[in-house]
Amino acid sequence: MKIAVFSTKPYDRDYFEKHPQASEYQLHYFETNLTDDTASLSKGFDAVCVFVNDKVHESVIKVLANNGVKLIALRCAGYNNVDVNSAKAHGLKVVRVPAYSPHAVAEHTMALILTLNRKTHKAYNRIREGNFSLNNLMGFDVFGKTIGVVGTGQIGAAFCKIVKGFGCNIIAFDLYPSEELIALGVTYGSVEDVFKTSDIISLHCPLTEDTKHIVNSSSIELMKNHVMIINTSRGALINTSDIIKGLSSKKVGFLGIDVYEQEENLFFKDLSESIIQDDDILRLMSFPNVLITSHQAYFTKEAMEEITRITYENLRAYNAGEFLKNEVK
């Protein structure tokens, strides 16, 4: 079975090549993203393996199908970048990695909160320059604060358990409330309740038509003054222009993001010697109360091992004609 692996980074290749099942498949690695311009590279392959910023839209799927591709293997949990209906119409199966390490993302979320609050990144740089002043480094106690969690799937649930250990009150929104979290002391309410009552809001929901731009000018208006907003889920959950206005007006006190609406043009690349053409990301970077990481929340040894293992298992099951338990339908 021949697989074209798109958006390949050195660490992807390392984990795939050292896996015990590596010798059973012919993997060809492409550093480029899968797009309309690169879909022709799939000719001669049985499957494509893609990541979060690959654009597997209808036009791309038509090319894949014409080239003989039968399987789209996502090495991530989200699948909003794949036109699943088009894939079905063209006879392509879509599989994903539904859970690799919810703890990795949840822990990174907490790291963003603590770093933004206690300004440890700024303190680190100051000390290296011989500046031991505490001016403008004051934070607040996370203990006793109300944390709002939008989405309590595996990652959101892991995050709730972390912040519970900090002595926080937790209010959550999810279409399917968790009895386990309710027993832990999590209170469920509407998304409006979460926005109105929370000191810190953390987004852990998938990107759908209903959740796109769930943080916008109207929802920001509902929030407490100087609210902290954290997004480690999908960039388009936040309307970028609206969050910039919220930061400028000081309604939003802190913003921590590991994802960004237009990240496919930026993230996973070294642009240190380039002129960045994205005015919105430059504006966000100019705020002293904004912390941006480059989609690294998932990036732990354990998560990479699990992504590799499940991806190979998805390939094996498809190749053997077995039931695809991780199929996206």
Per-residue H/E/C for 146-165: EEEEECCCHHHHHHHHHHHH
Same domain, 112 and 245: yes
Same domain, 260 and 315: no
Same domain, 106 and 213: yes
Same domain, 10 and 139: no
Please give the chain's pLDDT, 329 residues, in tens: 999 999 999 999 999 999 999 999 999 999 999 999 999 999 999 999 999 999 999 999 999 999 999 999 999 988 989 999 999 999 999 999 998 889 999 999 999 999 999 999 999 999 999 999 999 999 999 999 999 999 999 999 999 999 999 999 999 999 999 999 999 999 999 999 999 999 999 999 999 999 999 999 999 999 999 999 999 999 999 999 999 999 999 999 999 999 999 998 899 999 999 999 999 999 999 999 999 999 999 999 999 999 999 999 999 999 999 999 999 98
Same domain, 220 and 308: no
234 is catalytic: yes
Do the domain assignments include residue 158? yes
Phi/psi of residue 270, each to 5°? Answer: -95, 105
Residue with the two structure tokens 């099942």: 21
Same domain, 275 and 185: yes
Domain that holds residue 26: 2-100+301-319
Same domain, 252 and 193: yes
In angstroms, the Cα distances linking 163 to 158, 210, 225 are: 9, 27, 21
Same domain, 52 and 128: no
Same domain, 83 and 150: no
CA nearest 51: which of 317, 263, 214?
263
- Structural domain tally of the chain? 2
CATH of the domain at 9: 3.40.50.720
Do the domain assignments include residue 329? no
Same domain, 280 and 138: yes
Do the domain assignments include residue 126? yes
Same domain, 108 and 242: yes
Same domain, 192 and 55: no
Catalytic-labelled residue, pool 234, 261, 264, 306: 234
263 is catalytic: yes
295 is catalytic: yes
